[in-house]
């Protein structure tokens, strides 16, 4: 019996490099972005998509220097936003104050963006596609968390607590007729020890 191999849509999702208080990449952030590009140079990347925010734009262009022939392009769905505000009854007390500044309009807009993000990127290849595709998404910690939560079919509130370091690499795969596959989450193997864990609170790290 012969089987037909499914066409795979590969997503390489990364949080932007370390940024300063004004949203510009730091020297560390630029090095992180370049090292991520070096790591992805062995992948047959078809497209690099980035959030409209400067820290993501700069990261995408820095890593794309290692991907000849691939021009970064903006995707509005990747912008930083709160993807889901849980009902108070479903919210762990530790997160209660996190949403105090999020009004109804912002919550509704975030929900629409989160749906658009999934609809555009977290889908199996179109039936007309005959080969695997490889896309890099440069975005923000909340958006990485939302895509991981969606891939695992976890409750909507479980995007909370799924934090990503700067240029941490998350790899997702999509095939027609099958659930998404989470291959890696927040992988920092391309970074030397001194450049890892930026974007997290201070503390001991392995």
In a domain, 203, yes or no: no
Provide the total of helices (H) and of strands (E) in the chain, helices listed first.
Answer: 4, 6
In a domain, 145, yes or no: yes
CA–CA dist 96, 25 (Å, integer): 31
In a domain, 201, yes or no: no
In a domain, 15, yes or no: yes
List average pLDDT for each run of 10 residues in the chain, which is 206 residues long. 74 98 97 98 97 98 96 98 87 81 91 97 93 97 98 94 96 96 98 96 86
Total of domains in the chain? 1
CA–CA dist 19, 26 (Å, integer): 5
Q: How far is CA 191 from CA 23, 94, 166, 187, in A?
A: 21, 31, 10, 9
In a domain, 206, yes or no: no
In a domain, 156, yes or no: yes
Cα pseudo-dihedral 154, 143, 114, 120, rounded to 10: -100
In a domain, 89, yes or no: yes
- Note whether 113 and 83 are within 8 A (CB): yes
Q: Return the pLDDT at 2.
A: 45
For residue 13, the enclosing domain spans 9-195
Q: Domain containing 170 — which CATH number?
A: 3.40.50.1240
């Amino acid at each position: 019996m012969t089987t037909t191999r499914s066409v795979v849509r590969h997503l390489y999702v990364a949080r932007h490099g370390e940024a300063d208080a004004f949203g510009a990449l730091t020297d560390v952030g630029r090095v992180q972005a370049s090292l991520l590009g070096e790591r992805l140079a062995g992948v047959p990347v078809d497209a690099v998509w980035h959030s409209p925010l400067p820290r993501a734009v700069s990261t995408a262009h820095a890593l794309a220097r290692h991907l000849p022939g691939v021009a970064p392009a903006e995707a509005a769905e990747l912008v930083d936003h709160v993807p889901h505000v849980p009902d108070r009854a479903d919210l762990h007390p530790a997160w209660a104050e996190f949403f105090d500044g999020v009004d109804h309009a912002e919550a509704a807009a975030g929900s629409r963006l989160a749906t658009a993000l999934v609809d555009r990127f977290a889908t199996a290849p179109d039936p007309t596609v005959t080969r695997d595709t490889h896309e890099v998404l440069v975005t923000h910690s909340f958006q990485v968390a939302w895509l991981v939560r969606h891939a695992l079919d976890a409750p909507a509130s479980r995007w909370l607590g799924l934090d990503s370091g700067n240029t941490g690499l998350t790899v997702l795969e999509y095939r027609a007729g099958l659930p998404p596959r989470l291959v890696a989450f927040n992988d920092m193997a391309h970074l030397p020890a001194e450049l890892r864990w930026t974007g997290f609170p201070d503390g001991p790290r392995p």
